[in-house]
Amino acid sequence: MEDGIPFQIVSELLEGSVSEVIDAAHSSTSYLSHYEQLSIVLQMTSAIAYLHGLKPRPYVHADIRPTNVLVTRDMKVKVADLGAAHLVESSKSAGTLSRQYLAPERMPPTSGHSSLPSDVYSLGVSLIEIFTGVGPIPEERNGQLTLMINRRRLYRICLMMITDEDKIADRPTSAGCLATLIREVEELARSGVPAIKRMAKGQFVGEGAGRRHKVVLSDTYHP
C-alpha cells in the first residue's frame, strides 16, 4: 500500500509491449511473420474472451490497445492495465483513454459507457494494427483493411469488429472472434506449417533471438 492505494507486484519478467514489438519489426528487414501475428492476436483475443466470459458477471477491459498488451521473452502475451476495467452491470465511462482505439459510441458527443461491444471494437482496431503494421489512424482505417483483403477470414472478422455505432448489434462477441482465429490457425495447421501446428496445440514459445528487440523470437518458429 502507498498513500492508501494498493499495488500488485508481478513476479515474472515482461519484456515489452506489443507496440514495441511492432516498432521493432518495422526497424528490421521484414515485418512480423504470419505466425508471429497470429500468435499475438490469438493469445490477446483469448484473454479478452476470458474477461468477457467471467461468471456471474463479465468484465469490460475498457482500454484495449497494443501498448497495454505485454509480451514475455518466450513470446507469451499478457493483457495488462486493467485499471479501467469494471463489471458490466456497473459500467461507467472510463474517462480519457486512447481515442484512436475507442468505439464510436464512446466518442463525443455520445461518450457512452464502455461495454463488451466497445471492447470488441478496440480489439478489432488493435488486431488490424498487428496484422498490417499500420498505426490506428481512424481516417486511414479503410486503407488499412485493404491490406488484409487477401486474408479473407481475418479481413471479414476485423471488418465486423469495427462496425459503426448504428451497427453495434452486428459486432461479433470476443468469443466469436476467438473462434474465427482458431479456425484460421487450424486451417493453416492442416497445410503442414510446423510452427502453426505447434500453435494449434497451444504452444507459443519461441527460442533464440530472431529480431532486434528484447523479446526473444525464433526463426525456426517462422513459416
Check if the beta carbon of residue 77 is closer than 8 Å to that of residue 18: yes
- Cα diameter, the chain: 56
Residue 182 CB-density burial (10 A; 0-12 exposed, 13-18 middle, 19+ buried)? middle
Is 63 designated active site?
yes
Query: Residue 162 carries which DSSP code?
Result: T
CA angle 26, 174, 184 (to 5 degrees): 60
Amino acid at 20: E
Catalytic residue among 63, 74, 164, 219: 63
Amino acid at 120: V
Q: Which residues are catalytic?
A: 63
